[in-house]
């Protein structure tokens, strides 16, 4: 039995993905506020444990049936999900959020680049890369970036690429319900690891409400929405659209942290938005061509 109907408007998965990215940005800001209390591994454990419980209640993953061919992608999907969360939180302990997101984005960007086949696809990827480079002044500040934090961010990016590739195969039949099983697999490995590193501080009742909020904003809601988009968008389109993630981090910084953008950074932000819009318009055009061919 499949999850959601496959016949959806072309633009709907794009909107769903934008909502997911907005949710993740809010969750990341909230999660970082918990670092002084339980550390990055503790927040990872809290997020995965509570997120998995929420997903299990909603989707009842024990009812799902997977073929033998889907089991291995599901395993790698779950492990990459957990490792991505764990390494990203370790990264933002020592690296600014915007820089960490930019470095992590090398994962989906690589997926978009290597799955591209036509010149127009490379235009959107190049625009996204230029936007990221000028939005985040890595060239000026790279000597001040903590190397271990940067390495964790790049590792999270590699896991993000695996998450995209394996998630498409694992979630093809069951859509967002697959996230519940993937999160369970991630929890089996990373919840005990994070809990051990955080110690007794993790089990304070005062932390629970914030932990639930992080779990919803960073795991339950966005990963469910991402699975909807992931199984209904071409790989290159999904990867290029994710280029808006660092841009959203910059906007979030302006709204919640009082950060300002230079004119150059505004232009860079526009380049990323144009790349995302171009990728979406290309998708719509491809869909119309397919409908004509079928008709």
In the predicted model, is pLDDT for residue 202 greater than 80?
A: no
Among 92-101, 168-177, 237-246, 278-287, name the most confident range: 92-101
Give the start-to-end residue ranges of the domains of the chain. Answer: 12-117+139-239
For the segment 245-269, the average pLDDT, to the nearest whole number, is: 70
In the predicted model, is pLDDT for residue 289 greater than 60?
A: no
**Spatial distance between the Cα atoms of 163 and 111, rounded to a whole number of angstroms:** 11
Name the pLDDT band for 287 (thresholds 50, 70, 90).
very low
Which tens digits make up the pLDDT trace of 170-193?
Answer: 766 666 678 888 899 999 999 999
**Spatial distance between the Cα atoms of 113 and 240, rounded to a whole number of angstroms:** 9
145-149, 163-167, 258-262, range with the lowest pLDDT: 258-262
For residue 186, what pLDDT is reported? 94
For residue 253, what pLDDT is reported? 65
Which tens digits make up the pLDDT trace of 61-104?
Answer: 777 776 777 778 889 999 999 999 999 999 988 887 777 887 88
For the segment 232-255, the average pLDDT, to the nearest whole number, is: 72
- Tokens representing 280 are 């979406």
Average pLDDT, the chain: 78
For the segment 19-34, the average pLDDT, to the nearest whole number, is: 84
For residue 155, what pLDDT is reported? 94
Choice between 25 and 2, residue whose per-residue pLDDT is larger: 25
For residue 231, what pLDDT is reported? 74
**Spatial distance between the Cα atoms of 45 and 25, rounded to a whole number of angstroms:** 18
Smallest Cα–Cα separation from 247: which of 281, 279, 223, 276? 276
């Amino acid at each position: 039995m499949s999850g959601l109907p496959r016949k959806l408007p072309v633009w709907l998965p794009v909107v769903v993905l934008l909502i997911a990215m907005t949710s993740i940005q809010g969750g990341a800001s909230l999660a970082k506020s918990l670092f002084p209390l339980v550390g990055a591994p503790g927040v990872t454990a809290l997020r995965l444990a509570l997120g998995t419980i929420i997903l299990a209640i909603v989707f009842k993953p024990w009812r799902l049936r997977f073929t033998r061919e889907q089991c291995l992608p599901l395993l790698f999907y779950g492990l990459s999900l957990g490792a991505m969360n764990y390494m990203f939180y370790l990264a933002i302990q020592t690296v600014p959020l915007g820089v960490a997101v930019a470095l992590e984005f090398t994962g989906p960007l690589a997926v978009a680049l290597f799955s591209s086949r036509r010149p127009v696809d490379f235009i959107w990827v190049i625009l996204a890369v230029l936007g990221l480079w000028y939005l985040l002044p890595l060239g000026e500040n790279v000597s001040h970036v903590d190397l271990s934090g940067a390495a964790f961010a790049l590792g999270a990016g590699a896991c993000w690429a695996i998450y995209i590739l394996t998630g498409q195969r694992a979630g093809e039949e069951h859509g967002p319900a697959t996230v519940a099983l993937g999160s369970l697999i991630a929890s089996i490995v990373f919840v005990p690891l994070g809990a051990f590193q955080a110690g007794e501080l993790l089990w304070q009742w005062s932390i629970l409400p914030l932990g639930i909020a992080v779990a919803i904003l960073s795991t339950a809601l966005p990963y469910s929405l991402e699975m909807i988009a992931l199984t209904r968008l071409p790989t290159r389109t999904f990867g290029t659209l994710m280029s808006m993630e660092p841009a959203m981090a910059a906007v979030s910084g302006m709204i919640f942290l009082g950060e300002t953008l230079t004119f150059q950074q505004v232009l860079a932000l526009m380049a990323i938005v144009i790349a995302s819009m171009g990728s979406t318009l290309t998708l719509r055009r491809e869909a119309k061509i397919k409908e004509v061919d079928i008709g």
